[in-house]
Structure formats: C-alpha cells, structure tokens
Amino acid sequence: MSRSAHPAGPRHADVLTEGHYAAPPADLNVLDEKVWARTVSRNDDGAVTVGGIEVTRLAEEFGTPAYFLDESDFRARCRAWADAFGPGADVFYAGKAFLSRAVVRWLKEEGLNLDVCSGGELTTALDAGMPAERIAFHGNNKTVAEIERAVQVGVGRIVLDSFQEIVRVSHIAQRLGKRQRVQIRVTVGVEAHTHEFIATAHEDQKFGIALAGGQAAEAVRRALTLDGIELIGIHSHIGSQIFDMAGFEVSARRVVQLLAEVRDEHGVELPEIDLGGGLGIAYTSDDDPREPHEIAKALGDIVTRECEAAGLATPRISVEPGRAIVGPTAFTLYEVGTIKHLEGLRTYVSVDGGMSDNIRTALYDAEYSVALVSRRSDAEPMLVRVVGKHCESGDIVVKDAFLPSDLAPGDLIAVPATGAYCRSMASNYNHALRPPVVAVRDGEAREIVRRETEEDLLRLDVG
Ligand code: LLP
C-alpha cells in the first residue's frame, strides 16, 4: 500500500518512513488468522491465548522474550503436506528452519522425512530417533568428517553440490565399504522473486552445479561412472519465501529435460527429482501463501506433463518445506520496556529482545506484524517501530506497524510467524541469552529448548 493511502488520524501518521505500511486495521484487537498459529485467539478478558493458555500466564512461567510454538498446528501442517503429496512422493522438513529433538519426534510421528545441512543437525536428528534412511544431507561444503558420519550411519541420500564432492563422497563410501545413494543439486538458472540472499537458482551463487554449459550433465556422467555412489536423482532448490509458482515450473521443466538427456546419453532413467523448499508464508496480512494441496497439484501436474512429453516415466517427487511448516506455528512474546515518541519523526517501542532473536528484519528487510496480546485496547492506533535492546540502530524487529496508543511499559506484545529462521539464526550478540522455545498444546506448555543462562555463556568462555 502506498503512503498516500494512509489515513489521517493515528499518532505520527504523517511520519516519513522508509518501509511501506498498511493502513491500521479497523480493530487492532482482531488477530488475522493468516499470520497467527491456529490455536491463537483472544479470550473474553482480552488476553490472547495459545493452546488454551493465556500469554500472561506463559510470560509468568517462562519469561520473555520467548518463542511459543503451537504443537498441534505444527503437526497439522506436517500432515497437510504429507497428505497433499501422498504416498507416491516424499516430504522432507528442512531442519535449518528450526530443529530440536521434540521437532524430530513430531516429524517422525507425522510421517515426514528430514533434510539436514550440518553435522549438528544430523546429530539432533539421530539422537531423537529419526531413522537414518529418512534423512537427506545437504550443504555446499560438507566436511570430510560430516560425510563420513552420514555415510556410516546410512543417510537416505547425500545431495552432492560440487564436482569435488562427487569424488569425495565416492572415495569415502568406498573406503567405508558402502554404496551411498546421492542426488546432484543443479542450478536451473531462474531468478526467484525473493530477497537476493535467499535466492539460489540463478547461476552466480555458491550452490549447486549449473545446468547451463552442460556442467550438470558432466556431473551426472562422472557420478554414474564412480563406485561407492548410486545416483538416484536430481535436486533443485530455487530460493526461499517464494509465492509465485512460475519459478518452480521452470525449475521442474529444466530438471526433467536433464533427466531426458541422461536417458538419451546413458540409457538410465533416474528415478527421483527433488524440487526443494522455499514456499512463502504470510508475515503480514498482505501475504497470500498457497496451500500444500495447491502446491502439490501444481508441481505434480508440471512434472507429469513434462515427463509425458519427453517419454519418461514420472519420477518420484520430493520437496523440502521448512518455513511453510514451522514458520506460522510460533510467535515471539516480548515485554515492552520503553516508548519514545520522537515528535514529527517516529515512535520507537523497545522490547526485551531484538536482533539476537530475530535477525531477519535487519538481514533481509523482512516485514512482520505485531499485536498487543496481554490485554484488549480500544485506544487509537499509533504507528510504531518495534526495536530491540541491542547496541545497534539497525536492531529493528518490526519496521512499521500499528499498536494502540495507550501502549505502556510492561505490556506484552507478540510478533507472529517467527517459527522459522528466528531461533535457528539467533545469536548471543551483546551476550544476549537466547530465548526458549516453548511448545504449547491442549492447555499444556513445556520448554523444548530451554532459555540460555549466564552460566551457559560463561561455560564457553574458558578464560
Ligand atoms: N532445501 C534446501 C536445499 C534449502 O537450502 C532450503 C533453505 C530449504 C530446503 C528450505 O527452504 P524454506 O522452505 O524454509 O524456505 N534464513 C533465510 C532462509 C534461508 C533458506 C536456506 N535454505 C530466511 O530467514 O528467510
């Protein structure tokens, strides 16, 4: 929405702001279900509840800042993805979005597989009992130790990301007396419409092997001749927080073209393709994400059509959603500390967290929404910037949003859709203690990742 569409009325409505902002909603007490986890609602007393528990009670028990994750929503989203793709396809949850042992158990129970991209994620997965054959191992620079471990435990697939790695995995597997199933990650050369840092299918970046110039075909040639590895398919991940399915269509088409070339050259039909993750979620009311069944249908149709045209049997499809599963299921709860009204400029609301628990606003210019959740308010909307407590002016959590003008220190506000890439990218900047992740379900709340303590910080500082 343009600035000119901004209505008069709210405090500092004439403020010049770099970000774009929507007009205030008719009623700030209403929670847009698009951006909030499914069991979140406001009760008759005006407090917001999740899983049937009031946030005020959660704050008393677990403190702030904290992430609250709606477990039943997480499980429902897993099932929606699994059901949408059906038994003929595989859904791998991308652990980089957020991973803990509880999450691994939920994935296992709900029938999902898991994509890991580091030794640490692999350890978490195995420790929580994810069968190795349901794990895919990714990364553009896996260490020898990571590859050895992955091959040793028998991960279902390693996604090869470079020419060196094809040879490396082959050697390691032979040395360990194993035959490792692998896919080759290709870059299909599409520009996904998302932030530059999270777009991964154009050629000038560090991931994958380009289809262009026959490089991917050469990688296949080598993988097919080397011992110790079994090439089961081609992988493509075009980027993250994508709404437009066109990029996936191009990607699927180009990957199928490669399968046809491989068939023509080697007489081999590779049985699998992985189209990666990247499906966008709603961070604000302006975002309109696709449902898993729409995505499954769009991808299934295009792969089937392209394969028919190329005379190929339709390969088994896999996808790797991370954000689309966990993102919407959690919110971050903060306590308001100070409020500064800079006359004619802007109102800053400072909270007890910031860029250490949500780096996405600073890093990707991400948009978020925010609501007063400890009580109802019918005060006029006020345009604010929600900032953290770090020693940096770029420490912004929500660039522009409306909160009630009677907001006061001690109020609790919550930022929805922080389940993905917030705790997993959290830092100890300024020696902040990383917040806990609290799973809430059917009136019960429990920490699945506890809050860091000062002892934790000092334990690493060996003097
Ligand atoms: N598969 C591969 C190979 C990936 O690299 C990624 C994400 C995914 C799947 C999952 O993508 P998702 O469905 O979650 O979008 N830190 C950034 C996102 C980086 C994504 C990296 N790779 C952010 O906060 O937006």
The DSSP line for 204-262 is SSSSSEESGGGHHHHHHHHHHHSTTEEEEEEE---BSSB--THHHHHHHHHHHHHHHHH
For residue 238, how far is its CA from the centre of ligand 1 (angstroms)? Answer: 9
- Whether 278 is in the pocket of ligand 1, judged by its Cβ within 6 Å, is yes
Which residues are registered as beta bridge partners of 338? 350
- Whether 240 is in the pocket of ligand 1, judged by its Cβ within 6 Å, is yes
- Whether 324 is in the pocket of ligand 1, judged by its Cβ within 6 Å, is yes
Q: Nearest C-alpha to atom 8 of ligand 1 is from which residue?
A: 277
For residue 366, how far is its CA from the centre of ligand 1 (angstroms)? Answer: 15
422 included as an active-site residue: no
- Whether 186 is in the pocket of ligand 1, judged by its Cβ within 6 Å, is no
- Whether 277 is in the pocket of ligand 1, judged by its Cβ within 6 Å, is yes
- Whether 321 is in the pocket of ligand 1, judged by its Cβ within 6 Å, is yes
Which residues are registered as beta bridge partners of 188? none
Distant-in-sequence, close-in-space partners of 181: CB < 8 Å, separation ≥ 6: 156, 157, 158, 229, 230, 232
Q: What is the pLDDT of residue 197?
A: 66
Q: Nearest C-alpha to atom 23 of ligand 1 is from which residue?
A: 421
For residue 201, how far is its CA from the centre of ligand 1 (angstroms)? Answer: 12
Nearest-CA neighbor of 331 among 283, 388, 367, 394?
283
> Distance between CA 355 and CA 361 in Å, rounded?
8
Residue 279 CA: nearest ligand 1 atom is: 13
DSSP 399: E
What b-and-e string marks burial along 346-357, b requiring 16 or more CB atoms within 10 Å of the CB?
Answer: bbebbbbbbbbb
- Whether 322 is in the pocket of ligand 1, judged by its Cβ within 6 Å, is yes
Where do we find the tokens 């702001």?
Answer: 17
For residue 338, how far is its CA from the centre of ligand 1 (angstroms)? Answer: 34
Q: Please check whether residue 107 is in contact with residue 78, taking contact to mean a CB–CB distance below 8 angstroms.
A: yes
Residue 425 CA: nearest ligand 1 atom is: 16
- Whether 332 is in the pocket of ligand 1, judged by its Cβ within 6 Å, is no
Burial class (CB in 10 A: 0-12, 13-18, 19+), 7: exposed
Positions of E strands within 55-97: 66-70, 89-94
For residue 334, how far is its CA from the centre of ligand 1 (angstroms)? Answer: 26
For residue 200, how far is its CA from the centre of ligand 1 (angstroms)? Answer: 9
DSSP 11: B
The catalytically annotated residue of 78, 117, 307, 391 is 391
> Distance between CA 13 and CA 381 in Å, rounded?
10
Distant-in-sequence, close-in-space partners of 90: CB < 8 Å, separation ≥ 6: 113, 316, 317, 318, 319
- Whether 254 is in the pocket of ligand 1, judged by its Cβ within 6 Å, is no
Q: Nearest C-alpha to atom 19 of ligand 1 is from which residue?
A: 198
Q: Which two tokens stand for residue 103?
A: 């999450």
Q: What is the pLDDT of residue 22?
A: 64
- Which residue among 320, 326, 355, 422 has the greatest number of ligand 1 atoms within 8 angstroms of its CB, and so is best to mutate? 320
Q: Please check whether residue 436 is in contact with residue 443, taking contact to mean a CB–CB distance below 8 angstroms.
A: no
Q: Nearest C-alpha to atom 12 of ligand 1 is from which residue?
A: 278
Q: Please check whether residue 186 is in contact with residue 257, taking contact to mean a CB–CB distance below 8 angstroms.
A: no
For residue 97, how far is its CA from the centre of ligand 1 (angstroms)? Answer: 7
The whole-number mean pLDDT for each consecutive block of 10 residues of the chain, a chain of 463 residues, reads: 34 44 86 97 96 98 98 98 97 98 98 98 98 98 98 98 98 98 94 68 86 96 98 96 91 96 98 97 96 96 96 98 98 99 97 98 97 98 98 97 98 98 98 98 98 97 94
Q: Please check whether residue 159 is in contact with residue 274, taking contact to mean a CB–CB distance below 8 angstroms.
A: yes
- Which residue among 96, 283, 365 has the greatest number of ligand 1 atoms within 8 angstroms of its CB, and so is best to mutate? 96
SS3 call for 42: strand
Q: Please check whether residue 449 is in contact with residue 436, taking contact to mean a CB–CB distance below 8 angstroms.
A: yes
Pairing state between β 272-274 and 229-235: parallel
Q: Which two tokens stand for residue 55?
A: 């946030």
Rounded to whole angstroms, what are the CA distances from 117 to 79, 99, 135, 138, 362?
A: 23, 11, 10, 5, 24
DSSP codes joined into one string, 158-196: EEE-SHHHHHHHHHHHHHTT--EEEEEEEE-----SS-G
Q: Please check whether residue 406 is in contact with residue 445, taking contact to mean a CB–CB distance below 8 angstroms.
A: no
Rounded to whole angstroms, what are the CA distances from 50 to 38, 316, 353, 420, 439?
A: 8, 38, 21, 18, 10
- Whether 185 is in the pocket of ligand 1, judged by its Cβ within 6 Å, is no
For residue 258, how far is its CA from the centre of ligand 1 (angstroms)? Answer: 24
- Whether 367 is in the pocket of ligand 1, judged by its Cβ within 6 Å, is no
Sorted by where each starts, the structural domains of the chain and their CATH numbers stand as 41-70+328-460 (2.40.37.10), 138-321 (3.20.20.10)
> Distance between CA 295 and CA 89 in Å, rounded?
13
